[in-house]
Structure 1
């Protein structure tokens, strides 16, 4: 099947799209990367999406309008990706734009993604799998990090390894021989760094880590940040920009004994991400970390991660055939493929759910739905390296 995977991450910087050729035989899924692209949100939509974030208040008409606008933008991005790749698609999987992830007392109670899938089905004529997180939450899981599904199949082997994704929030999946997969959000990835960079006049994020490179880590601020109870909570756990908001950072800075320049704040936030990721990885005794996500394009953050993880090596997912910037989009394509073939989209225990479920709901395209006979199992994921996968 040719499957288009699409999402917009917690950084809210645009739509990531991946076109994948997927097939399954004898429990082995083979994924061939076909094409990837990123489409920035229009300034108007981007501003309105950011305005939804807590602690802001909103209205139901604003939610309805954004649900439509995001769905229409996703529809255009999917159609453009298929046209540019020169292929006819069979299925689209749309993870949506998370507007709110509801966690209380360590338990996930709900998660709202915007982007009405009917617009995608109408624009492309293809069936759309969407609303994947809620199924897992209803079954007792956190609905995140869903990257654990790809990681568990992809990294299975004799070594205990961690897959790390650094978007707005950072998450890890720990995979070891004969062990239950462990996966959870470690804390902020880029989201707080983006806040201070924007306040300093950068274009929404710290380009190449230039702001942080000028700064020095403030140990007092770092200690205050590390004292957050989230880091001491045991997995399974998940978080988002509902906790690590711009106001959260403002309050942390307000209690510091002196005003810090933006460069020092950025450097300290880089240290926070590196330290919390490294503490999580070393706590699980991993022998290697495979990194992906936008944070891997920040050389200052990558250097801090390497230092914090030492002597554990940090590799890029590019080295294993999945583009760093598009790994989560390929994950989304995989999740849709699993749903279409009647297979659970969550590895048992990875998100806290003990009862893996077939994820999401399916919006029909322009032809009647004809699902295949359910596959019996998926045990391994093989990624075929191609020129397009780099």
Structure 2
């Protein structure tokens, strides 16, 4: 089955569309990457999304406009991926949508909201769309994240030692081979917020860690930030920009009286430290990383320093392009849903049971379910040269 996976993470800078050929035989799910196209949000939509995120209070009209705007952006990305990567032969679209709120209270996830109306995708492509993946796991008592953990577990199975999969986006998360999976804390979320605040909105992020490289971590500020209660919570646990946003920086006293470069250096060290602590806590012998944070050489340098003796490698070395890994993961989850197979591992999310994820929007010709009785995959194999059809 040819599936397009759509993803926009907590950095909300673009819609990534990855196309994959997926085949399930005898317990082995083979993923053949066909490539990725990335379509940036236009400035108006990105600005509206930024203004609407927590801790902002917004009217329902704004939510409706965003749901439509994001849906149309995802639809355009899917059309482009079908044309450029699939020769218009795609059979299914799996859309993560754009997370705008993750409701956590008393250590439990009570709800989660992803915008990007899938009807726009189905109408533009003519294809059936699986979307709204996270809500079903939350309804089953889970965290609703990190949903890539099932894909990671299948992919890590059989590897020597104790490798862990790490993704550093706006929020960082990891998956260990025993099913332990959780958000470690901020990935680039606070770095991005600080860059925007100090530049008056001119910078969306600290490109290549340039600002952080000019500063020095402030040990007093770092210890203050490490006192955040979230880090001491047991897994499974999840977080988001509901906690780690510009207001968080202001409350911690980082936006006044400090050199911007030193604040960025401190926040870079915070991400590296919290990730490294989590990696050591699960006894990792190797880290297989992905996500935009790995493209920040200052952050990856700090992580390698703190994890001396534990190799940190990009998922590209294992055949799965790191820039597109989450989009490929949702292609897999959409494929599983289409076959009536669970898309979660309860060990990773804390749910009562594994659940078939998402809601289905039929395509132009409806949706034909595959034959019943398929056996779920026991492992994932990435086939062929990464990113090449």
Tell me which interval the TM-score lies in, with the shorter structure as reference length.
Answer: over 0.9
Deviation digits for residues 186-223 of structure 1, max 9, x if unmatched? 00000100111123335301111101000100000000
In the TM superposition, 1:300-319 aligns within 5 A as 300-319=298-317
Contact 2:35-2:386 within 8 A present in 1 as well: no
- The whole-number CA distance in structure 2 between the counterparts of 1:67 and 1:267 is 35
Residue aligning to 1:222: 222
In the TM superposition, 1:147-162 aligns within 5 A as 147-157=148-158, 158-162=160-164
- The whole-number CA distance in structure 1 between the counterparts of 2:302 and 2:296 is 10
1:150 to partner: Cα distance: 0.9
Deviation digits for residues 60-98 of structure 1, max 9, x if unmatched? 011011101110111111001111122410000000000
In the TM superposition, 1:129-278 aligns within 5 A as 129-157=130-158, 158-175=160-177, 179=178, 181-201=179-199, 203-253=203-253, 259-278=257-276
1:121 to partner: Cα distance: 0.3
In the TM superposition, 1:36-51 aligns within 5 A as 36-51=36-51
1:248 to partner: Cα distance: 0.4
Contact 2:316-2:386 within 8 A present in 1 as well: no
Residue aligning to 1:331: 329
- The whole-number CA distance in structure 2 between the counterparts of 1:285 and 1:205 is 32
Contact 2:321-2:386 within 8 A present in 1 as well: no
Deviation digits for residues 220-260 of structure 1, max 9, x if unmatched? 00000000000000011000000011100111125x9x821
Moved over 2 A (4+): 199-203, 387-390
- The whole-number CA distance in structure 2 between the counterparts of 1:384 and 1:65 is 40
1:137 to partner: Cα distance: 0.2
Query: Is 1:386 the counterpart of 2:385 in the alignment?
Result: yes
The alignment partner of 1:108 has SS state of strand
Residue aligning to 2:103: 102
- The whole-number CA distance in structure 2 between the counterparts of 1:81 and 1:376 is 29
Contact 1:148-1:350 within 8 A present in 2 as well: yes
Residue aligning to 1:69: 69
- The whole-number CA distance in structure 1 between the counterparts of 2:116 and 2:49 is 11
Deviation digits for residues 7-47 of structure 1, max 9, x if unmatched? 11001111111001101001100000001011111110001
- The whole-number CA distance in structure 1 between the counterparts of 2:194 and 2:375 is 49
1:368 to partner: Cα distance: 2.6
Residue aligning to 1:115: 116
- The whole-number CA distance in structure 2 between the counterparts of 1:105 and 1:203 is 35
- The whole-number CA distance in structure 2 between the counterparts of 1:132 and 1:21 is 20
- TM-score (normalizing by structure 1): 0.96
1:348 to partner: Cα distance: 2.5
Contact 1:184-1:236 within 8 A present in 2 as well: yes
- The whole-number CA distance in structure 2 between the counterparts of 1:377 and 1:66 is 36
1:310 to partner: Cα distance: 1.2
Contact 1:322-1:389 within 8 A present in 2 as well: no
1:283 to partner: Cα distance: 0.8
1:387 to partner: Cα distance: 5.2
The alignment partner of 1:242 has SS state of coil
